[in-house]
Amino acid sequence: HDMDTKSRSNKHEAEFLASFCRYLLQQGYNPSQITILTTYTGQLFNFKKVMPRQFFEGVRICAVDNFQGEENDIILLSLVRSNDEGNVGFLKVENRVCVALSRAKKGFYAIGNLTMLAEASPLWSKIIHELRQQDCVGTHLTLCCQNHANSRISAATKKDFTKAPEGGCMLPCEFRLKCGHVCTSVCHPTDPEHEQYKCLKPCPKILCHLGHKCPKLCHQQCGDCKVPVEKVIPRCQHKQKIPCSKSPNVFKCQAPCEKTLPCGHSCKNKCSQECTMPCMESVSYQLTCGHTMQAACSAKKNELVCNSPCRQPLKCEHPCAGTCGGCKQGRLHQPCRQKCNRVLVCSHQCNGQCTETCLPCNRPCENRCIHYRCQQKCREPCGSCQRPCEWRCNHHKCGKPC
């Protein structure tokens, strides 16, 4: 009894029918041909837990009351009720029983406590008696392998279906494929001619006259031989490792270019590329300011701007943070970026930029007396303490405000 949904559920029946439904799908039945019926809506939640959508997509799961007037090829029925008290609830209702047992066109399978139903209901007693006479009632399902007639499985729980992992049996398939290999899967009834089966053995084919084997799997397209082979490139006579199937006439040589540029430096490109023009070799230049600078060989000396640090002392005595070229060789310095640190009249240091005008101090005032500490900013006038002055000597006591 499910207290959350106030309905009935039976985990064993849900797991068994889910496994049986998977087995039927492995036999090649279309999901739309199968409907799972249950007599209680609470059982629907159990089915949703044990039947992931990615595998059972298309299989309909429905309560009996919602399936009136409909049919399907295969009906799997979960009767749910099983208790020591023999309470079968509305399973005694004849029209519900009629709907539950009459929805299948080709195959009908029901799971439940038939002994309890027969004892609790005359209607079920009559139905089950007739079924027993036709040998349609048992404690298990017998699963017969389509490929191995002697292989049979007695399925009474969901674990028994694991003996037919692909819907057949546990014997190896061993079907001889067109490639010459055999199927490595366990026995499976679907795809008997193995038209959709992908052979996972290494490909045995030889790709070229040098005897290179295909590195792919048997079911994959071999393609051209990609094994690196040393070949001579006709255009430059360099030896290069290139794919076996590729012609050296169309291969772009990856060896370094051996040509010398007009400036005397070696080309930095690949053999198959155009030479580097202009030359980007780094060389030293002596500038008019006296500094030495590294730049490309092709650079024009009169257009170079010195990037050496200026470091000349400014009026504030801080060193200039600009560059020699940026400061026009000391003629036009950049503004100082360092902190001011000048001592203000209050004895605090200025925290502004060196090039800015010092602002009034913004730090807390440090003035105090024995009664009071000033709460103003340092730049603001202090308040006057009006309490009596505490100064005194052996002869006299000050009578003025503090």
Classify residue 378 by its DSSP letter: T
- Here the tokens at position 70 are 């409909």
The helix or strand, by DSSP H or E, that contains position 231, with its residue range, turns out to be strand 228-232
β pairing state of 152-155 and 104-111 = unpaired
Q: What is the pLDDT of residue 4?
A: 38
| β-bridge mates for residue 240, sequence order | 231
Per-position pLDDT tens, the chain of length 402: 444 335 789 999 999 999 999 999 999 999 999 999 999 989 999 999 999 999 999 999 999 989 988 999 999 999 999 888 888 888 888 888 888 999 999 999 999 999 999 988 899 999 999 999 999 999 999 999 988 888 999 999 999 999 999 999 999 998 999 999 999 999 999 888 998 899 999 999 999 999 999 999 999 999 999 999 999 999 889 999 999 999 999 999 999 988 888 888 888 889 888 887 788 888 888 887 878 888 888 888 787 888 888 888 888 778 888 888 888 777 788 888 888 878 878 888 888 888 788 888 888 888 888 878 888 888 888 878 788 888 888 888 887 887
DSSP label at residue 274? P
DSSP-assigned states of every residue in 78-130? E-----TT---GGGG-HHHHHHHHS-EEEEEEEES-HHHHHHH-HHHHHHHHH
pLDDT of residue 1: 47
What's the confidence (pLDDT) of residue 223? 92
Q: For position 390, what pLDDT does the model report?
A: 81
Are 147 and 8 in contact by the 8 Å Cβ rule? The answer is no
In residues, how long is the chain? 402
Return d(Cα 115, Cα 311) in angstroms, integer.
103
CA 167 to chain centre: 33
Query: What's the pTM value of the predicted model, to 2 decimals?
Result: 0.58
- The β-bridge relationship of strands 152-155 and 228-232 is unpaired
Q: Is the dihedral of CA 275, 280, 282, 284 positive or negative?
A: positive
* Rounded-to-10 torsion of CA 29, 35, 38, 39: -140
Contact call for residues 25 and 34 (beta carbons, < 8 A): yes
